[in-house]
């Protein structure tokens, strides 16, 4: 038997008689779903139906093994998946166990960030989305920004102005300012979306910077003006400053595509 036929026969034997998938051994045959994932899915369903609430303690590993009819290894694998998703918290000690929790905005944001980073989104699309989103939240910022928020934004402006003088200003600093501005809405959903958008935002800013290497000098001044408009509770002025600010980035991104 030729060696290729022997290898094919060996692979089929390992796969329970099924032919090997194309790809020269790159992929391995998998089952339709893992048992541990079925456990995860059941617990997610109970959470959605509110039959499990944050703070509830799940049965012990032994009880879960009995109820699901699986091994302790499978239960532990499911619990690790739930913990990574921020749906349970594993506590040690005599009063420990698996407790239902709620995923933080950071954890959810990271999942969305992965999705956005892996999507073929362009710098132009990101900037267009920013025009809709960042202008849309200005009224909330004007209404809800606290004195502490304003102090922190002014401190950022001072740091960034100094970085401009020193020639050390980066697009990460610009992204940090916009992220902090969004936090002034004191809306967890908005903060989650902004955190998830951090990667694409940096990508678009860097593309704009490739067209205008000294990008930042005017932007930092506009950041300062925006903060003072917020402090004055002037939504119209703040919106106009942000629109001008974002339109400049948009024009640079468009120039970079030509």
- CATH class of this structure's domain 106-257: mainly alpha
What pLDDT is stored for residue 149 in this prediction? 97
Pairwise CA distance, residues 165 & 254, whole Å: 28
Q: What is the location of CATH 1.10.10.10 in the chain?
A: 35-100
- Two structure tokens written together for 223: 């950041």
131 or 37, greater pLDDT: 131
Query: pLDDT tens digit string along 167-187?
Result: 999 999 999 999 999 999 999
Confidence of residue 225 (pLDDT cuts 50, 70, 90): very high
Cα 223–Cα 226–Cα 228 angle in degrees, nearest 5: 115
Residues 6+ apart with CB under 8 A from 125: none
Q: What is the location of CATH 1.20.120.530 in the chain?
A: 106-257
- CATH class of this structure's domain 35-100: mainly alpha
Burial 112-132 (b: 16+ CB within 10 A, else e): ebeebeeeebebeebbeebee
Query: pLDDT tens digit string along 84-135?
Result: 878 888 888 777 888 988 765 555 555 555 555 556 678 888 899 999 999 9
């Amino acid at each position: 038997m030729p060696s290729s036929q022997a290898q094919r026969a060996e692979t089929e034997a390992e796969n329970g008689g099924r032919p090997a998938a194309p790809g020269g051994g790159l992929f391995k045959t998998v089952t339709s779903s893992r048992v541990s994932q079925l456990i995860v899915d059941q617990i997610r369903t109970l959470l959605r139906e509110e039959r499990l609430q944050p703070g509830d303690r799940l049965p012990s590993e032994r009880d879960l093994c009995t109820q699901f009819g699986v091994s302790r290894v499978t239960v532990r694998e499911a619990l690790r998946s739930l913990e990574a998703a921020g749906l349970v918290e594993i506590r040690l000690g005599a009063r420990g166990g698996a407790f239902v929790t709620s995923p933080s905005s950071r954890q959810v944001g990271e999942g969305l960030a992965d999705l956005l980073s892996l999507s073929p989104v362009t710098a132009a699309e990101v900037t267009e989305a920013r025009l809709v989103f960042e202008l849309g939240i200005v009224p909330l910022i004007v209404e809800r920004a606290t004195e502490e928020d304003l102090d922190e934004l002014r401190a950022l402006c001072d740091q960034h102005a100094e970085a401009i003088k020193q020639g050390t200003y980066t697009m990460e600093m610009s992204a940090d300012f916009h992220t902090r501005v969004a936090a002034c809405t004191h809306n967890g959903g908005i903060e989650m979306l902004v955190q998830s958008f951090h990667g694409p935002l940096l990508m678009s800013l860097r593309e704009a910077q490739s067209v205008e290497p000294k990008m930042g000098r005017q932007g930092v001044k506009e950041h300062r003006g925006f903060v003072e408009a917020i402090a004055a509770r002037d939504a119209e002025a703040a919106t106009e400053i942000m629109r001008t600010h974002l339109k400049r980035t948009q024009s640079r991104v468009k120039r970079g595509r030509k």
